[in-house]
Structure 1
Amino acid sequence: MANDQLENLKDLIDEIEEYLEDDNFADVSQQLNVLKPAQITRILERLSDRHRAFVYLLLDKDLALRVFEGLSPVLQSDLVNALQDHDTAELFLGLAPDDRVWLLDELPATVASKLLQGLDVDERAQTSALLGYPEESIGRRMSPQFITLREDNTAADALARVQSRLRSAETVYYLPVIDSGRRVLGAVTLRELMGADKTQRVEDLMGPVRTAEVTEDAEAVARRTARRGTFALSVVDHEERLVGIFTLDDAVRILEHEDSEDVSRQGGVEPLRRPYLSTPVSRLVRSRITWLLVLAVGATLTVQVLSVFEATLEQVTVLALFVPLLIGTGGNTGNQAATTVTRALALHDIEPRDIVRVLTRELRTGFMLGLLLGSLGFVITALIYEFEVGLVIGLTLLAVCAVAAAVGGVMPLLARAIKVDPAVFSNPFISTFVDATGLIIYFMIAKAILQI
């Protein structure tokens, strides 16, 4: 079913591009305006910048805003730059303040300033307030549009208040309860209000409230929200006064963004932050070239190690046959450990202070993996070549796996300790490091056993 939908989408995109090439805009409009916003979003993600702007202008006004909200901030930025000033200002005004901040982070400063000036006083104040918080903080991602209640409100009064502010609030399903100093006392849900007696007071309905401080890291708060499965939480300042709310859908958006960055950097590329098919080839090259240059320089270390042990290889040429096997196994073992530990860090299962425990566990894990692989390598190599050569391979696999697992497990923790993204210590970088150390171990063991 999913494959059929994908094929239909591809056919539709091909058809739209043909209409655009023929300047047949009426048929494009007819095709698009009967689709769901999510379907149109996927189509826009696959079009070129020029065609994307044309197609967007052909959408009905209400549909266009819903589609714009579904685009990634980078594609929103591209679209803003491609549209006329009037269309851009209208789109910007239609966004919620926290969504505007996502977009402003992707725009040049001059364009961002111009858009802010086009807002009315209240909207500009709300958006500017969010922009004033640190870049990675939850304050920059919270919504300042929420409905508050007082503990002495009746259920009827509370529902009337919700009804009067339906259009201006981010959500009406989570309602913080505050005192006269805007300090959060609790929270009540719309379900609880609707199910209560009209004369029942809010203080009898409200439950304990979960809060986050406005300067906390956005990713950490997002993971906490997703892990608890709460619909929303209250964001407070250092004096515990309510300044915003943070909803589950915003948490999912942040986690998708952060996980995408981590996966990219672990693979040795910079994150694209936009759909693949809408990314220019020049951008793809820039995202990869830096890491390739770094890794190429790092690989020279492996070449240096081989040159140092050149005489050893000349005496026992069979050793050269196993170099790819050994460095490949070491690299893969290190990558597995790094990926596991990086994920555990993201989920707050471990912290940098657990480095000794992680090192011990990864050494044991690597030793057991090396024992299994080394035993297999020893038996096969000893049968095909000689007993001594088999012993060299077996012991090297044992040592390399233990060292690689330890290095791969510790590096992300060291990165977090020095305030660097653990994903920056990407798997290719670990592979390069382990390749060199693995070769040194290999040739040292070979010289000791083979007496060369």
Structure 2
Amino acid sequence: MTETQATVDSVLAMLRAQPHDEEQLEQLALEAHLLPVGELVYLLESRPETEAAVLFRVLDKDRALGVFESLPSHHQAELISALRTPQVAEIIGDLDPDDRAALLDELPASVAERLMHGLDADERAMTTTVLGYPRHAIGRYMSPEVLTLLPTLTVREAMAHVRAHAEEPETVYLLPVVDGSRTLLGVVGLRRLLVADEEALVGDIAHEAVRARATDDREDAARRFFGAKLLAMPIVDSEDRLVGIVTVDDAIDILEQENTEDSARTSGSEPLRRAYLSTPIIGIVRSRIVWLLVLAISAILTVQVLEVFEDRLDQVVILALFIPLLTGTGGNTGNQAATTVTRALAVGEVRVRDLPRVVWQELRVGATLGAVLGALGFLVSGLVYGWAIGTVMGLTLLSICTMAAIVGGLMPLVAKRVGADPAVFSNPFISTFCDATGLIIYFTIATAVLGL
């Protein structure tokens, strides 16, 4: 057992011991001080609210701030609800405006209002600015604290300005260049300032800025951020006036949230709002049950199709043996296509207007896959069950793979077009659709080939 693990076990034992006297709390504080921030974050996320509150309360202010900033906003809200101490008010005042806004979203209105009143006027104004944007807009994730430069400054004057104000903004690695009305003219990197001629004007060394509007979708802006390989990106309003800046840690958080959400919905569930081990059983059940009910109802289509073709199954019982193979192949083919297109949409490789090209691409891919699998199915089933059955299997696999690939590629684009989450239209619904449609194709081909 490592020293860190032994300390974690000791902390857990002390947290479980109820109630806590002063001596126990002092010992807990000493043990907690030995743990890295990552372990403390894990403990706070995975323990019940009362134990997490006790652990957080014994941390010194600097360590508490570092841990608090690393927690998801819903865990921060739970801690605040459990603590209600002056230490919390101080920590909230030290948060960046965007992190503070995310936290206030999770709190009851009365608690959020009380915390807002505890902020100074400047911090309250910046937080209100961030809260004024829609929840999924990139403006919700920006910091309004930005160090800007005027284009008429010399490099020497600009460096003096940066040194004088370096502690105030969230980042100084990318410096927006603005005019008197805060219209964004360009950006200049700190490295560029350091190596430039001291008498050169900032406006002469600045370059065009990759920017986003504050109302842009957060995922689209974050993808653009990483596509341009940025450390920070200026955020502007509808008139190109600078209103804030998004840093790389904000962009990472956005994509992590989006990927978590897409992953959960692709597998037919809703994302958990807190750590898995600390989520109540009813919370996990609630995240899964709705999708299971929807899919169960959708699967009735498959049962109805089988009922329609029941007489064909009675005539050639062997057809029933291949149903799991065909439905599984169709579902898997559709899911592969949907996953590929959903990712391509997310990273900007495909747009809704590319729908005809995507359909043509997946038609060819599906037909090729179907030809390979169909040839194999024709050979194997033909040798074992006769060439008539082999022909049915070969033609069905060719048709199902082609159909499933087209549908799988089409669904995410349709979802994007109507404003829905492409992940929702992916694996669960595609599997159900391909099952029912695939069976119709299967029995139609069997009827024609076998003369049923």
Into which bin does the TM-score normalised by the smaller protein fall? over 0.9
Alignment of 1:31-180 (within 5 A): 31-180=31-180
Displacement after TM superposition at 1:282 (Å):
1.4
**Once the two structures are superposed, what CA deviation does each residue of 1:166-205 show, in whole Å capped at 9, x if it has no partner?**
2221111111111112112222222222333444332233
Question: Conserved in 2, the CA contact under 8 Å of 1:49 and 1:278?
Answer: no
Corresponding residue number in structure 1 for 2:204: 204
Corresponding residue number in structure 2 for 1:360: 360
Corresponding residue number in structure 2 for 1:273: 273
Displacement after TM superposition at 1:11 (Å):
5.3
Displacement after TM superposition at 1:15 (Å):
3.0
Q: Distance in 2 between matches of 1:108 and 1:368?
A: 56
Q: Give the 3-state SS of the residue equivalent to 2:285 in structure 1.
A: helix
Displacement after TM superposition at 1:396 (Å):
0.9
1:16 to 11, 16, 19: 11
Q: Distance in 2 between matches of 1:363 and 1:196?
A: 55
Q: Give the 3-state SS of the residue equivalent to 1:193 in structure 2.
A: helix
Q: Give the 3-state SS of the residue equivalent to 2:234 in structure 1.
A: strand
**Once the two structures are superposed, what CA deviation does each residue of 1:345-401 show, in whole Å capped at 9, x if it has no partner?**
111111111111111111111111111111111111111111111111111111111
Q: Distance in 2 between matches of 1:357 and 1:410?
A: 10
Change beyond 3 A, Cα 1:11–1:333: farther
Alignment of 1:253-268 (within 5 A): 253-268=253-268
Displacement after TM superposition at 1:19 (Å):
1.7
| One-letter identity of the residue aligned with 1:194 | L
Question: Conserved in 1, the CA contact under 8 Å of 2:10 and 2:31?
Answer: no
Q: Give the 3-state SS of the residue equivalent to 2:106 in structure 1.
A: coil
Question: Conserved in 2, the CA contact under 8 Å of 1:408 and 1:430?
Answer: yes
Q: Distance in 2 between matches of 1:115 and 1:304?
A: 57
Number of aligned residue pairs? 447
Corresponding residue number in structure 1 for 2:351: 351
| One-letter identity of the residue aligned with 1:264 | A
Displacement after TM superposition at 1:85 (Å):
4.2
Q: Distance in 1 between matches of 2:6 and 2:36?
A: 17
Corresponding residue number in structure 2 for 1:328: 328
Displacement after TM superposition at 1:103 (Å):
1.3
Q: Distance in 2 between matches of 1:114 and 1:311?
A: 70
Q: Distance in 1 between matches of 2:206 and 2:283?
A: 51
Pairing 1:425–2:422 present: no
Q: Distance in 1 between matches of 2:379 and 2:33?
A: 67
Pairing 1:230–2:230 present: yes
Question: Conserved in 2, the CA contact under 8 Å of 1:9 and 1:43?
Answer: no
Displacement after TM superposition at 1:134 (Å):
2.0
Corresponding residue number in structure 2 for 1:371: 371
**Once the two structures are superposed, what CA deviation does each residue of 1:6-30 show, in whole Å capped at 9, x if it has no partner?**
x876655433221222344333322
Unaligned runs of 5+ in 2: none
Q: Distance in 2 between matches of 1:355 and 1:222?
A: 24
Aligned Cα root-mean-square deviation (Å): 1.7
Displacement after TM superposition at 1:135 (Å):
2.0
Instruction: State which drifts further: 54-63 or 24-33.
Output: 24-33
Question: Conserved in 1, the CA contact under 8 Å of 2:396 and 2:442?
Answer: yes
Q: Distance in 1 between matches of 2:87 and 2:220?
A: 36
| One-letter identity of the residue aligned with 1:36 | P
Give percent identity, aligned residues only.
51
Q: Distance in 1 between matches of 2:270 and 2:113?
A: 28
Q: Distance in 2 between matches of 1:12 and 1:430?
A: 48
Instruction: State which drifts further: 298-307 or 100-109.
Output: 100-109
Q: Give the 3-state SS of the residue equivalent to 2:243 in structure 1.
A: strand
Q: Give the 3-state SS of the residue equivalent to 2:405 in structure 1.
A: helix
Q: Distance in 1 between matches of 2:431 and 2:423?
A: 14
TM-score for the superposition, normalised by structure 1: 0.95
Q: Give the 3-state SS of the residue equivalent to 1:185 in structure 2.
A: strand
Question: Conserved in 2, the CA contact under 8 Å of 1:367 and 1:399?
Answer: yes
Question: Conserved in 2, the CA contact under 8 Å of 1:235 and 1:243?
Answer: yes
Q: Distance in 2 between matches of 1:12 and 1:376?
A: 59
**Once the two structures are superposed, what CA deviation does each residue of 1:296-330 show, in whole Å capped at 9, x if it has no partner?**
10011111111111111111111111111110110
Alignment of 1:441-452 (within 5 A): 441-452=441-452
Displacement after TM superposition at 1:226 (Å):
0.7
Corresponding residue number in structure 2 for 1:189: 189
| One-letter identity of the residue aligned with 1:408 | G
**Once the two structures are superposed, what CA deviation does each residue of 1:67-123 show, in whole Å capped at 9, x if it has no partner?**
110111121121121112423322221110011112122222232222212211111
Question: Conserved in 1, the CA contact under 8 Å of 2:370 and 2:398?
Answer: yes
Q: Distance in 1 between matches of 2:199 and 2:224?
A: 35
Question: Conserved in 2, the CA contact under 8 Å of 1:268 and 1:426?
Answer: no
Q: Distance in 1 between matches of 2:6 and 2:128?
A: 43
